[in-house]
Homo-oligomer: A and B are copies of this chain.
Amino acid sequence: MSESSLSIGMLLFPELTQLDLTGPYEVFARAPDANVHLIWKTLDPVRSDRGMGILPTCTFDTCPALDVICIPGGPGQINLMDDDETLSFIRTKSENAKLVTSVCTGSLVLGAAGLLRGYKATTHWASLDQLTLLGAEPVNERVVRDRNRITGAGVTSGIDFALNVIADIYGAEIAQSIQLHMEYDPEPPFTSGSPRVAPEEILEQAKKQIAPFIEKRRLATEAAGRQLLKNN
């Protein structure tokens, strides 16, 4: 880590789920002397899966050294699973990073880059089993740490994840202060936020609704897994 400031890089790719990025960004950007970089291949606006346009701040070519690299998830993740340019960028930047991290299905991208082999990790609940295809050990927890890898579960877990990252780097007091400024004292209106607690009919309906998409994702994960074996 550089001595005077912390360099945090988040991948901003087309059809990402924007809250996977914007939740942790809000936490990271409040850390003392942190610079948060939003990284993509060009500086053109990137559209999220639901249409929000967000501006990258640097490209693969201009991105500085990173103390923390963070890969968010979302449907666009599928296109990254065999994108050599992106996987190679992630691998290179991760070599000297203090923490290599992800939110939601960003961990599948880390896995496709070969960075989770032999590591415990998590991802969105509907794709958790796919981590084994990339040599990782799926753990059904909201934030999972194994050595210098920290992975968060689905979408909103990014806030919990990022507070953990900040506590790891700056200590608990800074993280507690950021949590207070962000008034993060959640009161979900329903008990429905994970398969563990959601009403059975809501869970079954959700699974059915996303099944075709999850199978499409699985094909990409399987192909990435085969590529990893071939590269070894």
Task: Give the interface of A toward B (CB within 8 A).
Answer: 17-19, 22-23, 25-26, 29-30, 36, 38, 45, 50-55, 57, 104, 124-125, 142-143, 153-157, 159-160, 163-164, 167, 172-173, 175-177, 179-190, 192-199, 202-203, 205-206, 210
Contacts and interface: CB of A to CB of B under 8 A. Distances in A.
A160 to B, nearest CB: 5
Contacts of A17: 26
A14 B196 CA distance: 40
Contact of A180 (B23, B163, B194): B194
Given A175-B189, A188-B185, A189-B160, A51 B22 contact: no
A197 B196 CA distance: 27
Contact of A186 (B181, B182, B193): B193
A159 B26 CA distance: 14
Contacts of A36: 50-51
Instruction: Report how many copies the assembly holds.
Output: 2
Given A155-B181, A179-B192, 6 more contacts: A22-B23, A51-B57, A164-B189, A172-B190, A175-B189, A184-B188
B188 A188 contact: no
Contacts of A160: 186-189
B26 A183 contact: no
A199 B176 contact: yes
Contacts of A164: 189
B153 A180 contact: no
Contact of A184 (B38, B53, B155, B195): B155
A183 B205 CA distance: 15
